[in-house]
A and B are shown apart, each in its own frame.
Chain A
C-alpha cells in the first residue's frame, strides 16, 4: 500500500494564501450555499460583481477561472453603479469605497435578490447579508438572516454552521 504524509497529500499549496485570495474564494464559495429565487435562477451565467473600488486586483478572476456554479459559467464584473447589477449579478461584493452610499445600495440590492457581501465594518448589522470579518489571521463571516430573507435568499444551514455570528432567525422557524 502506498502511504504518504498527510501534509503532502496534495502538493498544491503554494505558501499561505493572501487575504484577498481568501476573500475571493469566499465570494465564490458562498454561492454554493445560497438558493436564489427562480427569477435569478433563469440567467445563463453566474455573475459575481464587484461594486466600487476593486480590492482584489485580478485575484478574483484567477480564483474563479474555469469554475462553474450549478452548471453555469462564472462571470466576474466590476460595476460602479448598483443598477448595473440587475442584469447579470448573483453575488454583489460592495467595496469599502462605497460605505457612504451603503444604505441606498442595500435597498437597491434587496429588490434585485442579490447576495450582498462586504468587508465593511458591521456590514451584517447594517443590513448586509454576509459581512466578512477578520479574526486574528483568519477571515470569517457574519450572516444576517433577516437581510437574506428580505432578498428572498435561502441560506443553507451548512453555511450558518461556519458563520461567526448569525443575526436574526430563519423565516418560518
Chain B
C-alpha cells in the first residue's frame, strides 16, 4: 500500500498514459462496436424482410391453390443464403404449407404471434433472428411466411472485434510505454535527478553539489535552476555563518582566557590584600588591648571609651577580612562531590540554633530524604547561611515558621528555604547576593552581608542558580538548584 502511494512520478506518468489511452480506446471500440452491431442488425432485418416479402408475393398462388410443391420450390431459393437456417410458409389456418431448413437445422415448431395489425415483426434471440410476415392477397391475410436467420455472423463479428480491440490495446500499451519512456527522459528524469540531489544534500549536508539543468521542459528547468540558486544561497550563508561562528569562538576563548587570568589575579590580589591587612590590623588590635589593660588607670572615661571604639572597629575589620578570605577560599578550593542528604543537614543546623535560644518559638519543618549531589562541606555552608538568615530575620516575630523542601520547575529539582519573618523589598531581590549588600541595618539585624554572596558562589560552582522572593513583613523564600552530573544515578 505504502509502496503504491509513493510510486515515482515516471511510474505515475506511465500509468496515466496507459490508463488514458486504454480507456479512450475501449470507449471508441465500444462505441464503434455498438454502432456496427446496430447497423448490422438493421441491415440484417432489412434483408430478411426483403426476402420474406419476395417469398410472400411468390407464394400467394401456392397458398390459394393449396400447392405445397410450388411453395417448396419458392422456399428452396433460400438455399443460396447460408445465413437462413429455416423458413416456412403457413396457411391462414396455421398449418404449414411448406417448410425449409438448412442442412443440420430443424424447422420451427412454435412461432410467436404477430402483433395485432402488424404485417411484419422480428425477434432477436441469442443465436437467431426470427422474422414473420403476413401473406396478403386482395387486402386479406391468407397466410404467414417466417424466416429464421443465424446470428452466427454477428457473433463472429463480435469475436473479431474483441480480437482487434485486444490487439490494438496491446499495441497502444506498448506505444504508451514507449511514449512514457520518452516522457521520463524529458520530465521525470530531471525531477528524479533533482530528488536525488536534494536527498544527497540533506544526507551529506554538502551544499556545493548542483542539480543538472539539462531538461527540455521549461517548468522543470525553472525548478532545477531555482533549486540550484537556493543551494547557492544556503552554501553562502552556511559559510558566512561558519565564519561568524569561528570568529565568535575565537573571541570567546580569548575573553575567557583574559577573564580567567584577570580573575586569578583578582583573587590573588584580594587574598594577599586581606592577608597583608591582617598584620597591621593585629598590631592595632594588640596595642589597643595592651593600652586598655596597662594604661586604663591613666585615662579618663572619655579616653577609655575612644580606645574601646578602636578595639571594636578593629574587631569588626578582622571579621570582615576573615569573611573575605573565606569567600576567596570557597571560590578556589577543590571540590569533592558526593551524595548529600540535605534534610539531615538542615535538621542538625536547626537543632543547634534552637539550643542557642531555647526561649524562641520557631516551628521548623523539613521534607525527608532531600538528596543532592555536590560537595558536602560547601553544601553545608549553603544550608547554614540560608537557615541562619531565616532564623535571624524571624527573630523580631513572636512565633515563626521555617521550612525546607523542594518543588519541581522545568523538569528540575528546586530546593527552597522559606520563612515568615521580616522579608525584604522585592525590588532589591538581586542585590542580596552581592558581597556586603544588606537590606537591613546592622542595628536592626547584625551581620556583614557576606552570607548570600558565599551561597551564590557555591551554587554557581555546582552549576546551579539561586534566587530570592520576598515582601516586607511577609517573609522570604530562597530557591536554589544544583546541576552537577550525578554519577551514582
List residues of chain A with CB under 8 Å of any chain B CB.
1-13, 22, 25-26, 29, 32-33, 67-70, 138, 140-141, 156, 158-159, 161-162
List of A residues within 8 angstroms of B110 by Cβ? 3-6
Question: B138–A68 contact, CB under 8 A?
Answer: yes
Q: Within 8 Å of chain A (Cβ to Cβ): is B103?
A: no
Q: Of B61, B93, B123, which one neighbours A9 at CB under 8 angstroms? A: B93
- Whether the Cβ atoms of B94 and A141 lie closer than 8 Å is no
Give which listed residue, B64, B92, B108, contacts A29 with CB less than 8 A: B64
Roughly how many angstroms separate A4 CA and B109 CA in the complex, as a whole number? 9
Does B95 have its Cβ within 8 Å of any Cβ on chain A?
yes
- Interface 9-residue window, one of B65-73, B356-364, B383-391, B443-451: B65-73
Partner of A162, one of B67, B96, B123: B67
Give B residues with C-beta under 8 Å from A: 58, 60-62, 64-67, 70, 73, 90, 92-96, 108-113, 123, 137-138, 140, 144
Please give me the residue from chain A that is nearest to B64 by CB atom. Answer: A29
**With a CB–CB cut-off of 8 A, which chain B residues contact A140?**
65, 67
A-B contact count (CB 8 A): 75
Are B61 and A159 neighbours in the complex by a CB distance under 8 Å?
Answer: yes
Q: Which residues of B contact A70 (CB under 8 A)?
A: 138
Whether the pair A161, B93 counts as a contact (CB closer than 8 A) is: no
**A156 — which chain B residues lie within 8 A by C-beta?**
61
Q: Residues of B contacting A3 with CB < 8 Å? A: 110-113
A161 and B62 contact, CB distance less than 8 A = yes
Closest 6 CB pairs of A and B: A9-B94, A13-B93, A158-B61, A162-B67, A29-B64, A3-B110
Which of A6, A10, A162 is the one whose CB lies under 8 Å from B61? A162
In the complex, the answer to whether B70 meets A6 with C-beta atoms within 8 Å is: no
Given pairs A5-B110, A158-B61, 6 additional interface contacts (CB within 8 A): A1-B123, A2-B112, A70-B138, A141-B65, A156-B61, A158-B60
User: In the complex, A140→B94 CA distance in Å?
Assistant: 22
In angstroms, Cα B65 to Cα A22, docked, is 9
Q: Are A32 and B96 in contact (CB under 8 A)?
A: no
Chain A residues with CB under 8 A of B60: 32, 158
B61 adjacent to A138 (CB under 8 Å): no
Measured between alpha carbons, how far is A13 from B91 in the docked complex, in Å? Answer: 10
B140 proximity list for chain A (CB < 8 A): 67
Q: Which chain B residues lie closer than 8 Å to A5 at the CB level?
A: 94, 109-110
**B-chain residues with CB within 8 Å of residue A159 when the two chains form the complex:** 61
Q: Which residues of A contact B92 (CB under 8 A)?
A: 9-10, 12
CB distance from B59 to the nearest CB of A (A): 9
Contacts of B112 in A (CB 8 A): 1-3
Residues of A within 8 A of B111 (CB): 3-4, 6, 9
Contact B67 A9 (CB under 8 A): no
Nearest residue, chain A, Cβ from B71: A162
Contacts known (A2-B112, A6-B111, A141-B65); A32 close to B93, Cβ less than 8 A: no
Nearest-CB distance from B455 to chain A (Å)? 111
Q: How far is the CB of B133 from chain A (nearest CB, A)?
A: 14
27 inter-chain pairs at a CB distance below 8 angstroms, sorted by A residue, are A1-B123, A3-B111, A3-B112, A3-B113, A4-B110, A4-B111, A5-B110, A6-B95, A6-B111, A7-B95, A9-B90, A9-B94, A9-B144, A10-B92, A12-B92, A13-B93, A25-B64, A26-B65, A29-B64, A29-B65, A32-B137, A67-B140, A140-B65, A141-B65, A156-B61, A158-B60, A161-B62
Q: When the two chains form their complex, are residues A32 and B58 in contact, meaning their CB atoms are under 8 A apart? A: no
Task: Tell whether, in the assembled complex, residue A161 and residue B96 are in contact, meaning their CB atoms are under 8 Å apart.
Answer: no
Minimum CB distance partner of B58 in chain A:
A158
CA distance A67 to B64 in the complex (A): 14
Whole-angstrom distance between the alpha carbons of A53 and B411 in the complex? 141
Residues of B within 8 A of A12 (CB): 92-93
Complex: A96 Cα to B378 Cα, angstroms: 164
Which residues of B are found within 8 Å of A2, using beta-carbon distances? 112-113
Contacts of A162 in B (CB 8 A): 61-62, 65, 67, 70
